[in-house]
Each structure stands twice: as C-alpha cells, then as structure tokens.
Amino acid sequence: MKLNQKTNIGAAVQEKPLAVCGLILCAGFGARAGFSYNKLLHYVGTKTVLELTLDKFMESCCTSIVITASPNDIDAVRKMVSVYANVLVVSGGDTRTKSVRNGLQAMQKSDIVVIHDGARPFICSALINQAVQSAITFGSGILAVPAIDTIKEVHGDTVVRTLPRAGLYHIQTPQAFRYNQIVDAYARIADDCGDDSEIYEKAGYSPKIVLGDYANRKLTTPNDFLLHSASSKIGTGFDVHRLVENRPLILGGVHIPFEKGLLGHSDADVLTHAVMDALLSAAGLPDIGVLFPNDDPAFHNAVSLKLLQTVLQKITCLGFSIGNISAVVLAEKPKLSPYIEKICINLARALGISVQQINVSATTTEGLGTVGEGKGIAASAMCIVTY
C-alpha cells in the first residue's frame, strides 16, 4: 500500500506519493535475552528476528527503510538484508536515543518517519499503516495498549502509591511522526529518553495514541524466545534391502568393504533412504517410493546422497529446516562402528547442517529374524523439522 497526498500547486491539484521511511533499531545487544550475540540475529524458525520484522515493513506503506546496527554486527546485518530493496544499514549509537539520531541523520528527507524496535517481530503491516495515517492526520501515531495489570509506585519494597489504571497505557512501537517534527524534536532535546514519543512530548508536541496489539510484544528475556520458538514436526522413516553378492555396500554414502552389498534399483543406501523418508514424512510429502520410483530408469544406480539433496530442496521450499536426525542401522554384519563418523559427516554435508544435528547408531538383532540371519540390512530414522 502506497499513500498519496494532494498538494496545491497554484490552481492545480497534484497527487504525489508520500515518502514514508521506516527506521528499525537493531543496534542493541539484548543481554537480557541470554545470547552471546545480538538477539535480533537469532533465528526463529527459518528467519532471524530482524528479517521477520523487516518483512512486515516491506508489506507496509513504507517506501524506504533505514536500519541502525552496532559496529560489531553491521557487516552481518548488511549481508542479511542485501536481498531487500530500498534498505540502508547505518551505524547506531550506544543508546537507543543516539541510534535514532544517527538513523534520522542518515535517511533522506521524508514526509513520515516510522520508528520501530527490531525486537518486535509480531507487528503487522496494517498497524504500521495506521500509525502512519495518524501521523499524516495528527502529526504522530504512537502504538499503545491499555494497561491490564494494576501498576503501583514502589520505593524499595514498599508500595507508596497505586496508580488508577484508567488512562494508563503500555507504549509500543512503531511510532510514526511527521519527518520535520521528529527531526525538530531530536534537534532541540538532548536527553536520552526511553522512546521517541517522550522526546516528541518534551519538545512541546502532543503524541497521538493509536490502539496497538498485545501480540506486538518485545522479545526481551530467554522465556520470550522459548514462547515464540518455531513450530516443529516429527518424521519417521524405515527401509530394508536384501544383501546379495556382487553389489557394493553403501551406507550414508560410505562404501563399506564387505563380501556382499545391498540389492536395489538405486545404490540401495538403506540408511539414506530411511533418512529421506523421515524428512518427507515430517514435511507431509509423499515418500521416496513415489518421488523416485524404482521402475524409473532415471534412478537406476542413482546416488542416494544426491536424492537426499533433492529431498532437502523440497522441504526447504516449504519453509522447513532440519532440527535433528536420529537414525539406527540394523545389521548382523559387518561391524559398522568404524564408519559411523564418516557416515554422519556425509549426511550432514549433503543436508547443509552441522554434524551435531545427526546421530547414527548401529545394532545387530542378536541373530533373530531376516536381519539376524544376514539376509538384509534395515535402517530406521527419525527427525524433527522446524518451520
């Protein structure tokens, strides 16, 4: 949505698009979140907090975006947002107020500025647009929600005053202002303030409230991140192949010296097959029998690790990322422990994940059943994917 304003130029009335600049603050560290890095660079599902926030601004009426980042993070932030159009990343300051000041100085002259804490990724574009509309009409639009809890003034551990709840609001961001007014306010007020509406108020303007949303919470503590961690799904896969002579034995892409190998249309990598089916199952997709039919000449002697990468592409396209994979190979012979590490490395590389996200174990079946009689090798895998 792009907003227009009508301007009188002589007798003619022309419509020109409003220049609305979003200013997203990402220069803090967020020590209370408990990470060893900027909390806005923390992944919630497949995107960082900053990207989730930026997505909402890209859907809004903003025509350009300025992000303030600390010198430590500025390269990482620039790289992260390089796929977005009309986004400028500039150095923030060591306080929120200084970061806003830097952002205002770096941006091109605009009609409206919308200032937002990057740690509020649950904002929606409609509320950003309402704040902007309020700024067009009244000079400012400050998101706020009525206080739910009773608020008391406490000295030490003693309550000295109970504030009447009526009329008390929790102030959120975004906060939208006419560009000239917020630049004027920051030029005249040198104090460090908790938010921009305070500076605006101290400069003599009257901030106008826009009803916000309780869901527009600021991610601050470790618990906030737990509450808003990505949804996850579990998947399971199982496969078995017959052991025959004159075939290679390949497990997890590792060629294992043995007198027999597994029979199959592809390379019969039974472990990789189980892993693929686990991932597909978690993503709600058809299994490998449907994706790679064993009567399709295209998959004759196919390298299963390559097929695994096709599976990865399919689940990634749907927004899934791999949490972890746990698999077990059931084989009476040969002894697999010398190959487990290499198998895990192969699978991790094929999937573009850390080797710590994969665990493979091996067991015999104590001579029982088909596997125990050495007629075949089976594999079972489970995985968790997040989205």
Binding region for Mg ion (CB under 5 A): 239, 273
Cα–Cα distance for residue pair 112/243, rounded to 1 Å? 71
Which of 98/265 has CB closer to Mg ion? 265
Neighbours of 320 (CB within 10 A): 25
Which residue sits closest to Mg ion, CB atoms considered? Answer: 273
Which of 183/275 has CB closer to Mg ion? 275
Q: How far is the CB of 329 from Mg ion (least distance, A)?
A: 13
CB 146 within 8 A of CB 168: yes
Q: How far is the CB of 241 from Mg ion (least distance, A)?
A: 6
Bond before 334 cis per omega within 30 degrees:
yes
Which of 102/304 has CB closer to Mg ion? 304
DSSP code, position 109: P
Which of 208/273 has CB closer to Mg ion? 273
Which of 117/239 has CB closer to Mg ion? 239
* Exposure b/e, 328-366, CB count within 10 A at least 16 = b: bbbbbebebeebbeebbebbbebbebeeebbebebeeee
Q: How far is the CB of 239 from Mg ion (least distance, A)?
A: 4
Q: How far is the CB of 307 from Mg ion (least distance, A)?
A: 10
Q: How far is the CB of 370 from Mg ion (least distance, A)?
A: 15
Q: How far is the CB of 20 from Mg ion (least distance, A)?
A: 56
Residue with tokens 């995985």: 383
Q: How far is the CB of 339 from Mg ion (least distance, A)?
A: 19
Which of 258/292 has CB closer to Mg ion? 292
Measured in Å, how far apart are the chain's first and last C-alpha atoms? 28
DSSP code, position 229: P
Please, is 48 exposed, middle or buried when counting C-beta atoms within 10 Å of its C-beta (0-12, 13-18, 19+)?
buried
Which of 115/270 has CB closer to Mg ion? 270
Give the residue among 120, 146, 148 at the shortest CA–CA distance from 210.
Answer: 146
DSSP-derived secondary structure for 263-293 = --SS---HHHHHHHHHHHHHTT---HHHHS-
Q: How far is the CB of 314 from Mg ion (least distance, A)?
A: 17
Residue type, 25: L
Which of 76/291 has CB closer to Mg ion? 291
Q: How far is the CB of 376 from Mg ion (least distance, A)?
A: 11
Strand residue runs (E) in 11-109: 12-17, 20-26, 43-44, 47-48, 64-69, 87-91
CB 284 within 8 A of CB 258: no
Which of 296/341 has CB closer to Mg ion? 296
Give the residue among 321, 383, 309 at the shortest CA–CA distance from 351.
Answer: 309
